[in-house]
Amino acid sequence: MKSASTQAAPKTSEHNYDASTIKVLKGLDAVRRRPAMYIGDISQRGLHHCVYEVVDNSVDEAMVGYCDKIVVEINKDGSVTVTDNGRGIPIEPPPGEKASAVQVVMTTLHAGGKFDHESYKVSGGLHGVGVSVVNALSEWCWVEICRDGEVYRQDYDRGKPRKKLAKVGTRKKTGTKTCFFPDSEIFKTTEFKFDIIASRLRELAFLNQGLTIILKDHRVDKEVEFYFKGGLSAFVQYLNENKTAVFRKPIHFSKIKDDIEVEIAIQYNDGYSESVYSYVNNINTIEGGTHLTGFRTALTRSINSYALKYNLLKNSKGPKNGKNGKNGKGGMAMIGDDSREGLTAVISVRVREPQFEGQTKTKLGNSEVRGIVEAITNEHLGAFFEENPSVGKRIVDKVVQAAMARDAARKARELTRRKTALDSAALPGKLADCSLRDPESCEIYIVEGDSAGGSAKQGRDRRYQAILPLRGKILNVEKARIDKILRNEEIRAMITALGCGVGDEFNVDKARYHKIIVMTDADVDGSHIRTLLLTFLFRYMRALIDQGLVYIAQPPLFRVKHGKTEYWAYSEEEKDSIMKKLPKTGVSLQRYKGLGEMNPDQLWKTTMDPEKRTLLKITLDDAATADHLFSTLMGPDTAPRSKFIQENASYVRNLDI
């Protein structure tokens, strides 16, 4: 990477070195020196972040009501074009500037300020760093603006304008078109993935009711259109698509109070897990925050008061007046968790100056938001239950069942505790633990099958690698409630080995290992077991995934032997390229179907040795898509599963690795 000082200054005006040019060069240089500071990382994630950054600007224009269509194109040459039908970025130089407003936006860090849209801008997190960052990290980039009947265009190389903004044509309509080609000097990969971009665009279309977003992939001639008349209602229906809803139409309301916009949609399903997604200014707040707290408090309270008012808890046989509280009428007691079993909801707020906190800066900190969300939710749910008593009763029924199951689960958990207390170190017998105790340096391999488990036990470095073999299939947690899940022996072994508890008692800080590595065979069964394990971790130990502690081992698919030399191939392509390089004679090829076919030494060398192995970290950039996927793959219905697998055969393969 070259620094600006070694390159000629661009001719952005007659005065090559005026103050604003120097500022621009310094800015570009800072971004190119430390790209990760601006876009998170320089891998696939950061690359796609660039697309989101450009799209966000068009979405901002949509949020203020001037744009209803955005087209994103992945071009044959690997560049991306984003087109909107908004007002177009202003042209006139801003006060005190010589360059066009377009140029200022495209070349100045955080050009916001004077151009502010008066919309909800983001402070913190990765979003909102500005399109100038994308420009700086692109080998080339151009913008075309249609405004006042003219078409204007400017081209850039690594963020520097080639020439001044120029008129290149005429057009009646208005809008902005931005095209960028990511710089391979910066990014580890420059290949855009259709599915990754599609997930984010779908999410944006759900969050911005009535906005049409089209994604076209010209590399393969593929196109999708996202437009949701129902907005957040459509979002929760999508999340519940493969589940059975308890009532048909989601409860959906929105209100603006003290300059804070709140929109919420709720629908229960007959399952047991909670799928609540919260957003601030279109950003998924994975760690929650004040908006989520306000919502939860109000939800529990509204259901509870409705149930009490109409005496709906009175005759239930649930836990009464236990340590979890009384309801004062002699009926059963419900707690917050009960009101969230089978709950699917999306909470979207728009806040002018959001404060993001937490480990991943995805937790809303603004305290004023809690009360506002709580008040709006209370008000709307209260009214809704009065007007829709049959839905209200169905929800209360659901919550009562959850409360009874909670009681059963508590008993099951106590049983687990008593039983494990009898064990020597309270750890499952089949766990081969490591000798070190510091979680930071310890890892656990969760291995499919006793025979592979045996090889792993012999092959490992026992100082820091623990092995937990699981026998056969584990329980599908999408189809079972927590009390049943807790009775499953394989799951119990996993819970005790990991050490961080489960459900209400889950505490990620207690994890005994900081790498949890799922190692299964490279066949259909193996991928099924892997999905089952990941579903369990996703539903019941989510923070492990959020904190990046969950990995997938990558055992080789082939061994190519040439004389005494062994080569390992982790994909068909790799095998072919190894075979091509070797003379035809004296080459033997072995395909590994299962981990059990490798001896301990081979397993160590290929899959477990930290010096040589590759681990795939499970990340959740897009929890809502993952949720939909897990419910598709693991839900009670087999039809959507086969449909999905047929339609996405290659995607499933990718997803599964």
Q: Is 521 a catalytic residue?
A: yes
CB of 71 to ligand 0RA, least distance (A): 12
CB 165 within 8 Å of CB 210: no
Q: Return the half-sphere exposure (C-beta side, CA atoms, 13 A cut-off) of residue 178.
A: 29
Beta strands in 36-149 (DSSP E): 69-74, 80-84, 138-147
CB of 103 to ligand 0RA, least distance (A): 13
Q: What's the Cα-to-Cα distance from 482 to each of 455, 477, 578, 601, rounded to whole Å? A: 33, 8, 48, 39
Among the listed ranges 43-51, 57-65, 266-274, 338-346, the one in contact with ligand 0RA (CB under 6 A) is: 57-65
Binding positions for ligand 0RA, 261-320, rule CB under 6 A = none
CB of 105 to ligand 0RA, least distance (A): 7
Binding positions for ligand 0RA, 479-498, rule CB under 6 A = none
CB of 209 to ligand 0RA, least distance (A): 19
Q: Which residues contact 488 (CB under 8 A, 6 or more apart)?
A: 474, 475, 480
Nearer to ligand 0RA, 82 or 533 (CB): 82
Nearer to ligand 0RA, 130 or 288 (CB): 130
Is residue 132 part of the contact set for ligand 0RA (CB under 6 A)? no
CB of 58 to ligand 0RA, least distance (A): 5
Q: What's the Cα-to-Cα distance from 362 to each of 150, 200, 210, rounded to whole Å? A: 41, 16, 26
Is residue 87 part of the contact set for ligand 0RA (CB under 6 A)? yes
Alpha-carbon span 173 to 146, nearest angstrom? 7
| Residue of 29, 374, 521, 627 with catalytic role | 521
CB 501 within 8 Å of CB 510: yes
Nearer to ligand 0RA, 208 or 366 (CB): 208
Alpha-carbon span 165 to 175, nearest angstrom? 16
Is residue 57 part of the contact set for ligand 0RA (CB under 6 A)? yes
DSSP 3-state of 314: coil
Among the listed ranges 28-36, 84-92, 252-260, 455-463, the one in contact with ligand 0RA (CB under 6 A) is: 84-92
| Residue of 225, 414, 423, 523 with catalytic role | 523
Is residue 244 part of the contact set for ligand 0RA (CB under 6 A)? no
Residues near ligand 0RA (CB under 6 A), total: 12
CA angle (205, 207, 209) in 5-degree steps: 70
Q: How far out from the chain centre does Cα 334 lie?
A: 31
Alpha-carbon span 176 to 179, nearest angstrom? 10
Please, what is the angle between helix 489-498 and helix 389-422, to 10°? 70
| Residue of 448, 478, 490, 546 with catalytic role | 448
Binding positions for ligand 0RA, 326-385, rule CB under 6 A = none
CB 77 within 8 Å of CB 138: no
Is residue 176 part of the contact set for ligand 0RA (CB under 6 A)? yes
Nearer to ligand 0RA, 137 or 265 (CB): 137
Q: Is 448 a catalytic residue?
A: yes
Nearer to ligand 0RA, 58 or 535 (CB): 58
DSSP 3-state of 487: coil
Alpha-carbon span 361 to 125, nearest angstrom? 5
| CA nearest to 632, candidates 240, 101, 272 | 240
Q: What's the Cα-to-Cα distance from 263 to each of 230, 253, 268, 444, 489, rounded to whole Å? A: 12, 6, 17, 42, 42
Taking CB under 6 A as the criterion, the residue among 61, 263, 337, 448 binding ligand 0RA is: 61
Q: Are strands 343-350 and 275-280 parallel, antiparallel or unpaired?
A: parallel
Among the listed ranges 88-96, 373-381, 424-432, 500-508, the one in contact with ligand 0RA (CB under 6 A) is: 88-96
Nearer to ligand 0RA, 145 or 332 (CB): 145
Among the listed ranges 36-44, 82-90, 237-245, 573-581, the one in contact with ligand 0RA (CB under 6 A) is: 82-90
Binding positions for ligand 0RA, 98-117, rule CB under 6 A = 115, 117
Nearer to ligand 0RA, 154 or 377 (CB): 154
Q: Is 523 a catalytic residue?
A: yes
| CA nearest to 232, candidates 186, 267, 196, 261 | 267
CB of 262 to ligand 0RA, least distance (A): 26
Alpha-carbon span 233 to 245, nearest angstrom? 13
Nearer to ligand 0RA, 84 or 627 (CB): 84
Taking CB under 6 A as the criterion, the residue among 4, 89, 280, 634 binding ligand 0RA is: 89
Nearer to ligand 0RA, 172 or 580 (CB): 172
Q: Is 407 a catalytic residue?
A: no
CB 396 within 8 Å of CB 403: no
Tokens 């959850």 correspond to 402
Nearer to ligand 0RA, 88 or 319 (CB): 88
Nearer to ligand 0RA, 88 or 125 (CB): 88
CB 407 within 8 Å of CB 321: no
Taking CB under 6 A as the criterion, the residue among 29, 53, 73, 84 binding ligand 0RA is: 84
CB of 121 to ligand 0RA, least distance (A): 11
Q: Which residues contact 54 (CB under 8 A, 6 or more apart)?
A: 80, 82, 131, 134, 178, 180
CB of 111 to ligand 0RA, least distance (A): 9
CB of 19 to ligand 0RA, least distance (A): 23
**Site map (CB under 6 A) of ligand 0RA, residues 186-205, x = contact:** --------------------
Taking CB under 6 A as the criterion, the residue among 45, 68, 78, 90 binding ligand 0RA is: 90
Taking CB under 6 A as the criterion, the residue among 12, 58, 377, 602 binding ligand 0RA is: 58
Q: Beta-carbon neighbour count of residue 638 at 10 Å? A: 8
CB of 164 to ligand 0RA, least distance (A): 19
| Residue of 525, 566, 621, 656 with catalytic role | 525
Nearer to ligand 0RA, 89 or 624 (CB): 89
Integer Rg of the chain from CA = 28
**Site map (CB under 6 A) of ligand 0RA, residues 33-52, x = contact:** --------------------
Cβ-defined contacts of 148-155 (< 8 Å, 24+): 148/91, 152/91, 152/100, 152/102, 154/100, 154/102, 154/103, 154/106
Taking CB under 6 A as the criterion, the residue among 10, 86, 289, 319 binding ligand 0RA is: 86
| CA nearest to 515, candidates 454, 460, 572 | 460
Is residue 183 part of the contact set for ligand 0RA (CB under 6 A)? no
Alpha-carbon span 596 to 592, nearest angstrom? 9
CB 481 within 8 Å of CB 555: no
CB of 61 to ligand 0RA, least distance (A): 4
CB 237 within 8 Å of CB 230: yes
CB of 588 to ligand 0RA, least distance (A): 58
Binding residues for ligand 0RA (CB under 6 A) = 57-58, 61, 84, 86-90, 115, 117, 176
**Residues with catalytic roles:** 448, 521, 523, 525
